[in-house]
Structure 1
């Protein structure tokens, strides 16, 4: 996957979720269920709200098993990235890179397939004894918006049975529909070849120029510009210019 300077928050923002697309009554029901599950489940559960770009829930087990401050866990939505504060700093950098890489992979898929995956990570977290222990963390979609976009992401973290001494973050991706597993190391960007003229027009589209303005600037006909625009949509497998720009940035074709 081509390196990029995009952040996780910018990646989440590409969902383009609207307040009219989500139902917080559903989240209240989910939260009540998670509170009940925490009473019998020894794993640590958390939820990320993609619309708000923040952690909105963590179970009390984070305090009991890993030594987190119980008051901050209870008020997690106001605590920013508190959950990540006990991640090993070297592992955290690897996690961010992997999450961005997997996000790019997800956004390269058709919309109807994007919520079919569970990402499984293994990394180090500091426990109550100030020792780093290895945990396994599973991430998958808990709730979708009305348009089918991922809205709430559920994380389920537990102490790993394999406490190997490793500085490497392990990651496996599970396809929930067919059970197939693969490693992010196997991911690669789709090969998309743009001509010099298509690239030139693509950058002008990103700047907000209309077809007539592009034609005047490049001294070509509007008909020629529109042909190039259609070719761009076809090559990127998108429906409109906004989707094309977003995908172009994801693939490194645009900045």
Structure 2
């Protein structure tokens, strides 16, 4: 957990904020809209300010849902057995957003949805949380993040942490890769070379000739790429790799 906390801190520190880029009126408008929303009245809603590293807003329902009669309110308390996995998913999602390679990608189009157990009125229950970026600053740093939490309709075991990153523009979704979420670590340089040619529609023999390797080696690289990205075929691999930033647009 200590390593994950360090990685989280390093990701936050990598954003270079300037005080003059922030307009308090922008945050105030979001808070006013959320607090008056009839649709969100029964949801636990909060806004996290990454510039100040604090919650800028928590709805009354949020505080009521996660209050424990026996303890002082301390926000969302995640089940100890789920905590590490939730942290790993969170860091993985942040890497995707903060370390993106495609400068033309609007990070506000991504939504992270995850499911885990949290303390609700003193009892651990499965909840579903949606994260979406509300605002970035002029330099593209992530500023305000919206969180919406609801009780999950499924409260039956097995209890497993689930996480999906969704591109709301294309409808594509995938599970964050906990251990490999920047392009240098996901695929080796040779695997990236092979994948680039796969994306161009090159057959294995042509790839083998261009890279001066055997067809068997190309096919081995193909299988390793599919396994690392957790997909079933080359088309999915290309689509997923583009989302992750492994392939430039």
Global fold match (TM > 0.5): yes
> For structure 1, which segment, 145-154 or 32-41, has the greater mean C-alpha deviation from structure 2 after superposition?
32-41
Check conservation: 1:13, 1:51, Cα contact below 8 A: no
1:23-79 deviation line (CA, Å, top 9, x unaligned): 11100111111211268621100111010112221111123334357xx77xxxxxx
- Hey, what does 1:105 align to over in structure 2? 96
- Hey, what does 1:62 align to over in structure 2? 62
- Hey, what does 1:160 align to over in structure 2? 152
1:150 aligns with 2:135: no
Taking the aligned partners of 1:38 and 1:59, their CA distance within structure 2 comes to 12
- Aligned pairs, how many? 180
- Hey, what does 2:13 align to over in structure 1? 13
- Hey, what does 1:27 align to over in structure 2? 27
- Hey, what does 1:46 align to over in structure 2? 46
Alpha-carbon distance, 1:172 to partner: 0.5
Check conservation: 2:4, 2:88, Cα contact below 8 A: no
Alpha-carbon distance, 1:112 to partner: 3.3
Check conservation: 1:139, 1:154, Cα contact below 8 A: yes
Q: TM-score, normalised by structure 2?
A: 0.64
1:127 aligns with 2:120: yes
Unaligned runs of at least 5 residues, structure 2: 190-249
Check conservation: 1:38, 1:61, Cα contact below 8 A: no
Within the candidate set 96, 105, 118, 2:111 is matched to 118
Check conservation: 1:125, 1:135, Cα contact below 8 A: yes
Taking the aligned partners of 2:129 and 2:39, their CA distance within structure 1 comes to 19
Alpha-carbon distance, 1:185 to partner: 3.7
Q: TM-score, normalised by structure 1?
A: 0.62
Taking the aligned partners of 1:44 and 1:13, their CA distance within structure 2 comes to 28
1:63-99 deviation line (CA, Å, top 9, x unaligned): 3334357xx77xxxxxxxx323x22122222111111
Taking the aligned partners of 1:19 and 1:191, their CA distance within structure 2 comes to 32
Q: CA-atom RMSD, angstroms?
A: 2.7
Taking the aligned partners of 2:30 and 2:5, their CA distance within structure 1 comes to 34
